Structure 1
Amino acid sequence: MSSAHPSRAAARPAFDQEAEEILLPVGVVAERLEMSTAALRAWERRYGLAPSGRTRGGHRRYSARDLERLERMRTLVRRGVPAADAARAVGAAGPADARAGVAELTEAMHALDTAAVQTVVSAALTRLGAAGAWTAVLAPALTAIGDHWEETGRGVEVEHVTSGIVEGALRRHAQDRAAALPPAPDAPGPVLLAAAPAEHHTLPLTALAAALAEEGRAVLLTGDLPVPALTDALVRARPGAVVLWARSRGTADLSWLRSALETTSAPVHPAGPGWPPGIPGAAAPLHDLPGALAALLGAPDGRRPV
């Protein structure tokens, strides 16, 4: 997951835009936002919130979408969200409703408003599904607060509170979907999801579990397991596939992964940025949630074959 500042929108000539679109100069935008032009230009320099339109003469102008982003940025900053986190929230890629979800979640996170965080997370899961919510809303917001903590040493309480709420929401979502769409009698064994010993950053595994449950695939989510517990789980569960997660190189224990390869004939997928490439005997590495779904469900788009 990237920690870079939001990229600047590509500039387009005014005559390539819709005829009814209005392009605004910096002074007009500053007046509407009740800000100084110097502050707007500082946001452009620091956070990439640049105007995306141009006149025929090449002068940069703010579009309606630019103005919407700036209004969200201003609102978040005035409500106490650090400017860098606010910029990441309003600059998140994806559809407008997903960007709005990132901004709402970021605001609720920094306010430590647990009820609001729960509401935004639940709404995202309902509207976008587990994979869409994780990719477009939850992961960007959590990455932003993680970057803020690494840069400033502050905000760990925000990450811990939010991570706990997201974990609980994803688990409930997975349980609800599993109850509504149980596996077929002739379905393969469950997908066993385990994290390397001492690997505590396991939210991506929980998101994968919820997304698989939406597709009717049985899942066994175990958390971080030492070698004896991992081998026991593999023998008893007889999984159809195995996903072994390691976020960092410090937790990516190759001997632990090899113990799984020696215990089960099911494909064993290394997942997470901690693993080195080209592990002998391992199945295809899983780099992101859509790719993991495609590999585990056997369909290019990550949907269950019909």
Structure 2
Amino acid sequence: MDEDTPVSEGDAGFGIGAVSRRLGIPAPTLRTWNLRYGLGPSRRSPGGHRRYGDADVRRLAEMKRLIATGLVPAEAARLALSLPDPPPPSPLKGGRRTSPPVPRKPGGRPAVAALARAATVLDGRAVSGLIEETLAAQGVVWTWEHLVLPAFDAVCRAQDETGTGIDAEHLLSGHLQAALHRLAGDVPPRGDERPVLLACAEEEQHSLPVHALAAALAEQGVQTRVLGARTPYAALASAMRRLGPAAVFVWSQRAATGDTAPLADLPHVRPACQVVIGGLGWRGRPPSGVVRVSTLPAAVACVMSTLI
């Protein structure tokens, strides 16, 4: 619906005060989201007043939810604006009103099943197609949370039940990493920008979350340097001294690699550098100044806050 679409008195939508009370979002914040991100009222009453329609309210609620998960506002707005309008009702048939089926977004449950099935039969073309389609439509964070993690869960559950399927997991990992790597390399270099340094903990071989974070930061225009799996802490320290990064992210998936003690020995570079850790492997209290996150949206938000 266009921004100035007129509506009838019976379908005039909601004023900003009503939306504020309904969603618990202050009216000044709603005005800011309208001006900055285009999440505003799309209707006009017969008297010419701007009004929020049902689709507008749904997008605002989605933006509020995404921000609460740790997503930065710009990315939350992009995902919220991608929500489709509800389909119009179809004519009455046989005395009953019916509606056409609502199209599913890439990355919904059918796509999760399709991706897991394609990986299981080792159909690399289909795996790449599904991943690329969803990344283009929904972005990295949404794809990771709603397509990739559920698909890996399905593949791993099949492994537990049958004792086979490691080949499917490896194929899925390979095609996903290739897609994420392409996205992460799309950011043009800027001479005055301090990069973000990403690495796995020493002896940690699971590096996909690091590549996902690099791609998600690339969507925000952030330069990254990925050291990858099994990065010795001495090598990480050396890279910190040479690059002077704005932030360092270290991933540990297994308890065997999650000792937090070596983090205290990382160098204190100038200007200051924020160290962020993620993954279930970390054990013990992180050293002072080290921030621990538990999700990809939280990692993106934490790193972006250091760049403001």
Is contact 1:244-1:257 (8 Å) kept? no
Name the residue aligned to 1:221.
Answer: 226
Is 1:278 the counterpart of 2:288 in the alignment?
no
Q: Percent of aligned positions with the same letter in both sequences?
A: 35
Equivalent residue in structure 2 for 1:158, among 150, 153, 168: 168
Name the residue aligned to 1:287.
Answer: 294
Q: Deviations 1:276-296 (Å, cap 9, x if unpaired)?
A: 353122432111011111111
Q: Deviations 1:31-86 (Å, cap 9, x if unpaired)?
A: xxxxxxxxxxxxxxxxxxxxxxxxxxxxxxxxx9xxx9xxxxxxxxxxxxxxxxxx
Q: Deviations 1:149-171 (Å, cap 9, x if unpaired)?
A: 24442111100111011111110
Q: SS of 2:248's equivalent?
A: strand
Name the residue aligned to 1:15.
Answer: none
CA distance in structure 1 between the partners assigned to 2:111 and 2:168 by the alignment: 17
Name the residue aligned to 2:212.
Answer: 207
Moved more, 248-257 or 227-236: 248-257
Name the residue aligned to 1:44.
Answer: none
CA distance in structure 2 between the partners assigned to 1:114 and 1:97 by the alignment: 17
Is contact 1:167-1:206 (8 Å) kept? yes
Is 1:268 the counterpart of 2:275 in the alignment?
yes
Is contact 1:261-1:268 (8 Å) kept? no
Name the residue aligned to 1:103.
Answer: 113
Q: Deviations 1:138-187 (Å, cap 9, x if unpaired)?
A: 121012212332444211110011101111111012212x14xx55x554
Q: Deviations 1:95-129 (Å, cap 9, x if unpaired)?
A: 67522221221121111001111111111111111
Equivalent residue in structure 2 for 1:242, among 235, 244, 248: 248
Relative to 1, partners in 2 of residues 1:97 and 1:271: Cα closer, same or farther, differing over 3 Å?
closer
TM-superposed CA distance for 1:202, in Å, is 1.1
Moved more, 261-270 or 198-207: 261-270
Name the residue aligned to 2:199.
Answer: 194
Name the residue aligned to 2:122.
Answer: 112
Name the residue aligned to 1:253.
Answer: 259
Read off the aligned partner of 1:122 and give its amino acid letter: E
Q: SS of 2:176's equivalent?
A: helix
Relative to 1, partners in 2 of residues 1:272 and 1:127: Cα closer, same or farther, differing over 3 Å?
same
TM-superposed CA distance for 1:227, in Å, is 2.3
CA distance in structure 2 between the partners assigned to 1:142 and 1:201 by the alignment: 13
Read off the aligned partner of 1:194 and give its amino acid letter: A
Name the residue aligned to 1:138.
Answer: 148
Is contact 2:240-2:267 (8 Å) kept? no
Relative to 1, partners in 2 of residues 1:281 and 1:150: Cα closer, same or farther, differing over 3 Å?
farther
CA distance in structure 2 between the partners assigned to 1:291 and 1:199 by the alignment: 21
- Structure 1, unaligned runs of 5 or more: 1-63, 69-93
Name the residue aligned to 1:297.
Answer: 304
Question: What TM-score do the two structures reach when normalised by structure 2?
Answer: 0.61
Q: SS of 1:247's equivalent?
A: coil
Relative to 1, partners in 2 of residues 1:96 and 1:191: Cα closer, same or farther, differing over 3 Å?
closer
Moved more, 218-227 or 141-150: 141-150
TM-superposed CA distance for 1:272, in Å, is 0.7
Relative to 1, partners in 2 of residues 1:108 and 1:269: Cα closer, same or farther, differing over 3 Å?
same
